Amino acid sequence: MQKKNYYLESVFDLNASNVWGVSAQELLDLWQKDMKDESFASSEDKILNVIRLAFEVYHFDPKDDREVMRYNNGDYVVLPGLDKRKESVAIRKKAIRQITDLSYENIKHITAVELLKLIEGNFGGGWDSISLAIKDIIESAFDISTTTLPASRIHAPGGTLERKVADGYEVLEIQKGTWVEAIFAKKREPMEKLRFVPEPEYDEDGNRRIVDEDEDMDTDEDRDEDGTDNDDTFYGSYSPEADIKDMDEELADE
């Protein structure tokens, strides 16, 4: 039998950020495996509380035939309990039905196509109709850009829409009278978090390292007579230039 490669190795690893990336079936398999752990009984309620962040969780009486039929209809996954005499637990992934359902946790687990469908369903108001708080959530996981052009020009050969699509963006077109707003979305590549690793206090032989306190201090040679830094690097010789704003790419096509 081929071994299943799962997003997580244990339900004990569940947290607010990764629970959205787990399917109900995966949770069932991990749950059944981890039930054998001695600490599972004392952790069961805590695990369920994390599961509730991304799943609908229902407790039901396994002796009630109507409830058993309700939660065994294919929409739910039933998690077995350690004590068969107690209630059973049925779970179902929460649906992201509207744009206000988005959060910093679940935004990472939807596609650009799914995002644009949510935006389209937001009363058709376009990007500007979205609150700043929701925009911040969206832009934490997606590159977003927009353009509004006459309907006769939105699909012009070599225009913004054609170039964005070629660059991997999904596009949503919203009709606004004789104009069209195009909203472009592309998933951001996950960035690796940089972590500061301090130098060990002791070397490989167990000797305490000696830190030269004057090592990072400025010397008189580094400063001019007026006390300013004598820096011949790029930043020391750099002189800012006037800001130049790019012309609208579409206007350049006219």
Each residue of 206-229: pLDDT tens digit?
A: 455 565 555 444 445 545 555 545
Q: Is pLDDT above 70 for 155?
A: yes
Please state, for a pLDDT cut of 70, what percent of the chain lies above it: 70
For the chain, the domains span 11-93, 99-187
How confident is the model over 5-31, as a mean pLDDT? 87
Q: Model confidence at 186, in pLDDT bands (50, 70, 90)?
A: very high
| pTM, full prediction | 0.65
Q: Model confidence at 62, in pLDDT bands (50, 70, 90)?
A: confident
73 class by beta-carbon count within 10 Å (0-12 exposed, 13-18 middle, 19+ buried)? exposed
Q: Model confidence at 235, in pLDDT bands (50, 70, 90)?
A: very low
Q: Model confidence at 73, in pLDDT bands (50, 70, 90)?
A: confident
Q: Is pLDDT above 80 for 67?
A: yes
Please state, for a pLDDT cut of 90, what percent of the chain lies above it: 50
User: What does the pLDDT read at residue 74?
Assistant: 84
How confident is the model over 76-84, as a mean pLDDT? 81
More confident residue, 27 or 87: 27
User: What does the pLDDT read at residue 3?
Assistant: 45
**23-27, 146-150, 219-223, range with the lowest pLDDT:** 219-223
| Whole-number Cα distances in Å, 79 to 39, 94, 128, 139 | 17, 16, 43, 35
More confident residue, 171 or 123: 171
How confident is the model over 170-192, as a mean pLDDT? 90
User: What does the pLDDT read at residue 125?
Assistant: 82
Q: Is pLDDT above 80 for 22?
A: yes
Q: Is pLDDT above 70 for 196?
A: no
Helices (H) and strands (E) in the chain, counts: 8, 6
